[in-house]
Chain A
């Protein structure tokens, strides 16, 4: 009996997603159409990919507030590279490397100077955002080649290309977190950092790796965002860090570390995507949408907390 109840609560995010999906299918005739669903996928892909990285960070007991700013920085630099003749591939690679570099910076700063990640990434948020505005003069990067839109808007065998990118990233992150030593240590560090140190685990190295992966995934997301907007926006990604953290938390991630999963995060991100899309379709005031998402976050964490209290002790 205990086991079954536990399972139901664990499945709660998934069940919520299904219910939400069914509700919207009935409530709006425009919801269950290929056009609308692929637009949901495209809209959520960016948050989704960033949330994958954030899952690793949160499982390790850390937090990354700088992902929105990294998104803007990487997207701006990546598109500038394309415009200045590096080619689309070169530009995408540049964007990816920018993300990786910022992730490394976050990881190295937290581990070497031993500043809490909340503070470090609050700092790099400001630095990355400021540098982006300086480099771009505050103006969007325009003049991107038409083909660049394929990344964000194209389809491959009838499937939105971003969905394939997302699945690819999700599978890799899943394997990393659940099947590799890196993932194992990520959970261990998040669950009990002291015990991890005492077990001889090179905690600093693995912490840096976690932030680096998160940064790189944000780099990928930045180029998708740029491709969808067909500009490099220095102001892109404002407030994304909160959406990304929310996706992880709705999916069962614990901000004290040691808990969280890739599947949970994907579900969390899609719940938020459907809430936004459904509100649009049903004509709900966009200001109210924010309040709804806020309520969902609190409800998700409250239910998860209730589950843990019930089964501890």
Chain B
């Protein structure tokens, strides 16, 4: 046995993050670790990778008790982690990041040539779309994820932890990650694979451990449990795992986009899906509509009138909201309380003569918390301490309070758990029923097919196809990949 975790406990202040963390990982095994956000997966994995120390319980490495005090301890023993959130140095290049902390030296100097050469070889071996010499700060979240994977691969460890490696990746990149995982396990490396995408475990994982509320509730050979059972263990309650949405008769036209190669409109009550591979221009489309990269040629009409959107402020004033794919960076003021974040885009509405009205603000925040079922004890809770799903709900609440009519969701379910996903979808459905227009960009094709009324497929910055609701994943992928 490679790693054994026996009744691991961890408390932060008075909060119990982990009460009973138990799992065993063998060499050459792909062990799936699932659970809702806040279930304790990240805490458990931070303990295994030496980022935090556990309070109680026993961790054994090759049958010998160990305790890691710092990441270097875990690293020395052969544990590497592919982090979900990018832990890269933005001003260094891809290659420099891959070798960060273990630079090959030539006398007193860093052997820059070798870094680039070895990084290139690694990137080529796995067909990643990365340039070893480009700087990291301009890269998309997906590419950063690939760099994280390269880092772990390079350290050639005995145990690699993947923390939702595919949450920001396109289909082809996802397949590449699967191939990597399989190849690594074939080499006898143990893999812990954390994911929210239960469907991708089939044919990938050997065993599965399920955490709920800080406790290991189930461990089994994957073939012995089906998706329903996994979800049941995760949430401890029944939820319909397939979301079904009734289409509505769309109302008046809310948005009309006329850009070179991109022509489409969104009507009130409609959810328009946008599919495509990474780099196909989906995020860029959202950013153009929202005024981050203003229109150069072409026009955007809101409710039948051409509007000049030169900044996010113009967009917000025109009734547009953008729920970005990176809510920590662009969606939330993490140090500030929930209530401040909820009213941030419409502070005027809780002000009189420039003075904040606390009672009005509290009322708004309480209402949002209830309506969106944001799980927190108080509206004073700082946003940074909430789980991904709850953070996403705060971002949505912010735009609802702003009364945005057109909502652009860029990867709305990224990094949030099954339960919260269903809640986000039913919220989008509700908004559509209220007559709002919704654009949903997603790499999760099954989700798009369930939620969207019709699907635009983007490829190379163009809209390659517009497909009806009852299309198939194959059809969408076909248009996303192939030139016709």
Contacts and interface: CB of A to CB of B under 8 A. Distances in A.
Interface of A: 1-3, 5-6, 175, 179-185, 187-188, 191-192, 194-202, 258-259, 310-313
Given A1-B13, A181-B351, A195 B313 contact: no
B226 interface: no
Nearest to B358: A179
B13 A258 contact: no
Interface string B379-413: 00000110000000000001000100000000000
Interface stretch (B179-187, B269-277, B326-334): B326-334
Nearest to B43: A313
B335 A191 contact: yes
A3 B14 CA distance: 8
A231 to B, nearest CB: 39
Contact of A184 (B52, B311, B317, B347): B347
A200 B322 CA distance: 10
A188 to B, nearest CB: 5
B2 to A, nearest CB: 26
B334 A191 contact: yes
Contacts of B344: 184, 188, 195-196, 199, 201
A258 B355 contact: no
A199 B13 contact: no
Contact of B355 (A180, A188, A311, A313): A180
B451 to A, nearest CB: 23
Given A200-B317, A201-B313, A195 B331 contact: yes
Interface in B247-302: 290
Given A1-B14, A2-B14, A202-B313, A192 B355 contact: no
B340 interface: yes
A183 B340 CA distance: 12
Given A181-B356, A192-B333, A201-B347, 15 more contacts: A175-B355, A181-B354, A181-B355, A187-B340, A188-B333, A192-B329, A195-B329, A195-B333, A196-B333, A199-B312, A201-B345, A258-B333, A258-B335, A313-B12, A313-B52
Contacts of A3: 14
B46 to A, nearest CB: 8
Contacts of A179: 355-356
Contacts of B12: 311, 313
A283 to B, nearest CB: 43
Given A1-B13, A2-B14, A198 B324 contact: yes
B335 A194 contact: no
Contact of A187 (B330, B333, B348): B333
Contacts of B13: 1-2, 5-6, 310-311
Q: Which of A175, A181, A188, A191 has the most CB of B within 10 A?
A: A191
B462 to A, nearest CB: 26
Contacts of B354: 180-182
A194 B15 contact: no
B79 interface: no
Contacts of B345: 199-201
B116 interface: no
Given A184-B340, A192-B332, A195-B332, A200 B347 contact: no
B169 to A, nearest CB: 23
Contacts of B315: 200
B59 interface: no
Nearest to A191: B333
A22 to B, nearest CB: 31
A198 B333 contact: no
Nearest to B317: A200
A131 B414 CA distance: 55
A31 to B, nearest CB: 38
Contacts of B351: 180-181
Q: Which of A192, A195, A312 has the most CB of B within 10 A?
A: A195
Contacts of A180: 351, 354-356
